Amino acid sequence: MGLPSFSSVVFLWIVASFSFGIVCGQDDTLNLLDFGASGDGIADDSQAFSNAWKTLCASGKALNIPAGKTFVVKPLQLLGPCKSNVLIQVDGNIVGPPTLGQWAESCNSGCWLCFQNVKGLIMKGNGLINGKGSIWWNQKSQSLNSLFFHKCDQLQLNGITSRDSPKMHVFIHSCNDVRISNVHLNAPENSPNTDGIDISLSSHVTVQDSFIGTGDDCIAIKGGSSFVNITHVTCGPGHGFSVGSLGQNPAVADEVEQIFVQNSICDKTLNCARIKTWVGGSGYAKAIFFKQMTLKQSKNPILIDQHYCNGAANCATKAGAVKVSDVQFSGFTGTSASEQAITLDCSDLGCTNIVMDHVSLTSAVPGKPVLRSVCNKASGEASFTTPEVPCLKSQVNPVTEIISPISVTP
């Protein structure tokens, strides 16, 4: 037999390489079913998930949560560091146990799916994460956050849906370089403490192109956070986009700066753009920008509340306050569900350098009187703002940015 032609060798090499690539692709992806999970929505798949995570973390491969399957999972501690960046492809459903008794067997951690010290984690897909929160909402016991990320730098969340979280849907804690996009976070309007995304002690966090409708803050930015960029996010129902609450523990100075919320929507929310601080707190909230916001029947479109208190700690007698300064509200259009559309209720320390520019709010109720604003110890400038804000100096010309924003795009 003669030697094969050069073209035949090339053809065989291409086929072999292609086949090898397919095999390699398969070998690089783990399937949760291969670890003993049933995916029938009834059996407990917690151990299978835990075993799969250990293999995933040690290998640096990808883990597939396959479509068409529902995996019941109890609270899990998913710990790093891992060998390299890891990917969890959520195409199927992950659900919590159906009864409180099953949750209670392993729920001392305060979270359900708890990721810690995992650098470069990617969680994406079109699957559903259902926390079965309704069994918690009327209980006095401490409920759990659905997805908790602690010291998970370079984290990416894309495409996932979280429904009915027992408490917060996504909690970002002590993380840097985080990108969240195209997520859907949903819970009923009357579900308690079901924040969409809470960001704490974290920097360079981007949230974009997402829908959040919950019973509490759609996004809450808390102490120790900086360079947070929120854009093209629809909030409603919920309590809006909140900086805070800050200053609950007077011994700890809460510091927040360089926060950008822009090109977003508040649809039938309790609040829209809000800063809230406890009486007696310490620290600062500065360089905060709310821009190009569309409101649909939002009850409190613009709110700075420095007298936030749960009523149980005699807050009125406490001294001190979080310093609020360099805040801009610009490009607001839409309707308010209440007559008091703008509230600037500051502490004795005062809120300084507050800018409002091109804010145009009207009543959501036909025939209602002109909207009003309330000021207490706030100072700054306003132009083209309706309703008028009497404590801010009115400008004939548009207010130029007196604070220079710093880009937070990674």
Are residues 406 and 258 in contact, defined by beta-carbon separation less than 8 angstroms?
yes
pLDDT at 117: 98
Would you kindly state where each structural domain of the chain is located, as residue ranges?
A: 33-308+323-394
pLDDT at 286: 98
Are residues 155 and 170 in contact, defined by beta-carbon separation less than 8 angstroms?
no
Residue 307 is a catalytic residue: no
Query: How far is the C-alpha of 52 from the C-alpha of 367, rounded, in Å?
Result: 61
pLDDT at 105: 64
Query: How far is the C-alpha of 107 from the C-alpha of 104, rounded, in Å?
Result: 5
37 exposure class (CB count in 10 Å sphere: 0-12, 13-18, 19+)? buried
- How are strands ordered across the β-sheet holding 145-150? 76-79, 111-116, 145-150, 170-173, 197-200, 219-221, 241-246, 271-278, 300-308, 340-345, 372-376
**Under 8 Å CB-to-CB from 67, ≥6 apart: which residues?**
91, 92, 127
pLDDT band with cut points at 50, 70 and 90 for residue 27: low
Question: Which has the higher per-residue pLDDT, 309 or 375?
Answer: 375
pLDDT band with cut points at 50, 70 and 90 for residue 312: low
pLDDT at 108: 66
Tell me which residue has tokens 């009115």: 394
Query: How far is the C-alpha of 71 from the C-alpha of 89, rounded, in Å?
Result: 14
- Token pair, residue 311, equals 């009523």
Q: Which amino acid, 230?
A: I
- Of 153, 177, 195, 216, catalytic: 216
Residue 45 is a catalytic residue: no
pLDDT at 7: 46
71 exposure class (CB count in 10 Å sphere: 0-12, 13-18, 19+)? buried
Least confident of 25-34, 124-133, 138-147, 246-255: 25-34
| 242 has a pLDDT exceeding 60 | yes
pLDDT at 396: 55
pTM of the model as a whole:
0.90
Find, among 47, 44, 86, 97, the residue nearest to 64 by Cα: 86
Average model confidence (pLDDT) across the chain: 89
Looking at 2.160.20.10, 3.30.2290.10, 3.50.50.60, 3.40.50.12280, the CATH number of the domain 33-308+323-394 comes to: 2.160.20.10
Query: How far is the C-alpha of 355 from the C-alpha of 367, rounded, in Å?
Result: 29
The pLDDT tens digits for 50-77 are: 999 999 999 989 999 999 999 999 999 9
- Of 198, 239, 267, 326, catalytic: 239
The pLDDT tens digits for 111-162 are: 999 999 999 999 999 999 999 999 999 887 778 999 999 999 999 999 999 9
Query: How far is the C-alpha of 381 from the C-alpha of 146, rounded, in Å?
Result: 42
How many other β-carbons are positioned within 10 Å of the β-carbon of residue 219? 29
